[in-house]
């Protein structure tokens, strides 16, 4: 699974479509799906796409996720309960149908469809034309957040509903969720838990960042690179799109000069993750012919589905007096990072983002002894687990 993301307007849809096309040309059964609400994948292929996959070239299927379609298909029981709540409050049926798609459901629906494609076994490669970076981060963090909700909140809610539900229903007439609703929710969270296992597996999943050589775009790409490491998602490639030729003419001379100045900085800052370039073409990148040209410029004769880099953004190492948990956070500043711990949960804050990291079993009883941030890496020191102190087992 290859997730392409980047700041809006950098050309990530074209790069994702070209990657999918090249994979299919090499004989891989390829699915390309757009999770961006502002779909433009169909425009890149110059084909009309819908909520269900269609074959658009040999070995290549494509579709654009649709929240209403996916919600009704995947977890209608939950939507029906939400609709009954709105109708109980006096909202008419048509409006309650629209309002039952709550914020976040579009991301959930897209994730469910991706895992459906993966588990079907019909495809060798799944290319995701993801939303701009902020939305993609929210999309990719959903499975981990949902796992926390499933393990800690849902069982409590279900017990409370069974005890207090009949009383609430008799007193105020409010509809209460049935076992079917909880079953649908449990099934949903289990699917997301399975997807999270796939997303953090660098053998099966990579995130690829597309950027232009503009200062604001580069800064956002660097922040995204940091946050992907924070959540443990492997980034194996950065794609610099729309690189001007050496002699672009007087009108673009200043732009070309700036690009030549920024490119070595980008290559150095993203290292050891490789940086590939795509030229600014003389025509709009629309249709199979131009997508083929883009793919040739980006990958030449290489397999686009290979892992171009395999790092380890999150690891636990044994030290003489305990353990060290290390998380790579490139481009982060020490002042941006803070930590809190509650039992087996370690919360890492980096700027406006945070990750609730469930500690490995061996560290659950190990006391936290401090942290350092150097060489792009946050290192958290733990003492020996209590069961091992004094030589006990």
Domains and CATH numbers, the chain: 1-310 (3.40.50.300), 314-391 (2.60.40.790)
Q: How far is CA 116 from CA 42, 122, 192, in A?
A: 21, 10, 11
Q: Which residue has the higher pLDDT, 145 or 283?
A: 283
Sequence-ordered list of residues with C-beta below 8 angstroms from that of 135, at least 6 positions apart, any chain: 36, 37, 107
Please, which pLDDT band fits residue 57 given cuts at 50, 70 and 90? Answer: very high
Does residue 189 have a pLDDT over 90?
A: no
What pLDDT is attached to residue 304? 97
Residue 310 DSSP code: -
Sequence-ordered list of residues with C-beta below 8 angstroms from that of 211, at least 6 positions apart, any chain: 6, 7, 10, 217, 218, 220, 221, 238, 239, 240, 241, 266
- Nearest-10 Cα torsion for 302, 305, 306, 311: 130
What pLDDT is attached to residue 28? 98
Does residue 179 have a pLDDT over 70?
A: no
Q: Which residue has the higher pLDDT, 341 or 197?
A: 341
Candidate ranges 22-31, 135-144, 158-167, 213-222; pick with highest mean pLDDT: 22-31
Q: What is the C-alpha to C-alpha distance for residues 151 and 179, in angstroms, rounded to an integer?
A: 17
Percent of the chain past pLDDT 70, that is, above it, reads 72
Q: What is the C-alpha to C-alpha distance for residues 34 and 358, in angstroms, rounded to an integer?
A: 30
Q: What is the C-alpha to C-alpha distance for residues 5 and 28, in angstroms, rounded to an integer?
A: 22
What pLDDT is attached to residue 389? 46
Q: How far is CA 78 from CA 39, 84, 282, in A?
A: 26, 10, 50
What pLDDT is attached to residue 173? 46
What pLDDT is attached to residue 77? 46
What pLDDT is attached to residue 18? 98
Q: Which residue has the higher pLDDT, 19 or 78?
A: 19
Contact at 8 Å (CB) between 22 and 299?
Answer: yes
Does residue 84 have a pLDDT over 60?
A: no
Q: What is the C-alpha to C-alpha distance for residues 380 and 364, in angstroms, rounded to an integer?
A: 14
Does residue 53 have a pLDDT over 80?
A: yes
Tens-digit pLDDT profile for residues 114-126: 888 999 999 999 9
What pLDDT is attached to residue 354? 79
Mean pLDDT value across residues 168-183: 51
Rounded to 5 degrees, what are φ and ψ at 178? Answer: -85, 175
Mean pLDDT value across residues 185-191: 68
Pairing of strands 322-328, 314-319: antiparallel
Rounded to 5 degrees, what are φ and ψ at 309? Answer: -160, 140
Sequence-ordered list of residues with C-beta below 8 angstroms from that of 91, at least 6 positions apart, any chain: 99
Mean pLDDT value across residues 162-177: 46
How far does the chain reach from its first CA to its final CA, in angstroms? 41
Range of lowest pLDDT (57-66, 72-81, 191-200): 72-81
Contact at 8 Å (CB) between 348 and 337?
Answer: yes
Dump strand ranges (E) for 130-220: 206-211
Please, which pLDDT band fits residue 236 given cuts at 50, 70 and 90? Answer: very high
What is the reported pTM?
0.75
SS3 of 391, please? helix
């Amino acid at each position: 699974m290859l997730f392409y993301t980047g700041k809006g307007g950098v050309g990530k849809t074209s790069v994702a479509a070209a990657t999918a096309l090249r994979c299919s040309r090499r004989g891989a059964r390829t699915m390309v799906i757009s999770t961006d609400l502002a779909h433009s994948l169909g425009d890149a292929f110059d084909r009309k796409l819908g909520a269900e996959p269609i074959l658009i070239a040999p070995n290549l299927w494509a579709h654009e996720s649709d929240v209403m379609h996916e919600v009704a298909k995947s977890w209608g029981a939950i939507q029906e309960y939400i609709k009954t709540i709105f109708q109980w409050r006096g909202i008419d049926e048509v409006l309650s149908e629209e309002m039952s798609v709550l914020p976040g459901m579009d991301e959930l629906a897209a994730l469910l469809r991706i895992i459906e494609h993966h588990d079907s076994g019909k495809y060798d490669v799944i290319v995701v034309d993801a939303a701009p970076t902020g939305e993609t981060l929210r999309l990719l963090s959903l499975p981990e957040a949902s796992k926390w909700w499933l393990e800690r909140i849902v069982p409590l809610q279900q017990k409370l509903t069974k005890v207090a539900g009949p009383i609430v229903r008799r007193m105020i007439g409010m509809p209460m969720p049935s076992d079917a609703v909880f079953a649908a929710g449990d099934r949903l969270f289990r699917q997301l838990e399975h997807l999270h296992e796939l997303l953090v597996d660098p053998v099966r999943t990579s995130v690829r960042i597309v950027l232009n050589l503009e200062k604001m775009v580069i800064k956002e790409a660097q922040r995204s690179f940091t946050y992907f490491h924070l959540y443990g998602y492997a980034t194996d490639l950065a794609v610099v799109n729309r690189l001007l030729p050496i002699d672009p003419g007087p009108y673009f001379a200043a732009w070309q000069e700036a690009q030549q100045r920024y490119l070595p900085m980008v290559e150095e800052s993203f290292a050891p993750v490789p940086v590939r370039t795509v030229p600014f073409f003389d025509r709009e990148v629309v249709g199979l012919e131009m997508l083929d040209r883009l793919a040739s410029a980006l990958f030449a004769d290489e397999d686009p589905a290979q892992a171009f880099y395999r790092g380890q953004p999150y690891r636990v190492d044994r030290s003489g007096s305990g353990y060290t948990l290390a998380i790579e956070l490139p481009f982060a500043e020490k002042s941006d990072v803070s930590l809190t711990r509650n039992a087996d949960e370690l919360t890492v804050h980096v700027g406006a983002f945070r990750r609730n990291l469930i500690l490995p079993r061996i560290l659950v009883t190990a006391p936290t002894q401090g942290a350092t941030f150097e060489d792009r890496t946050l290192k958290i020191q733990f003492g020996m687990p209590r069961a091992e102190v004094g030589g006990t087992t």
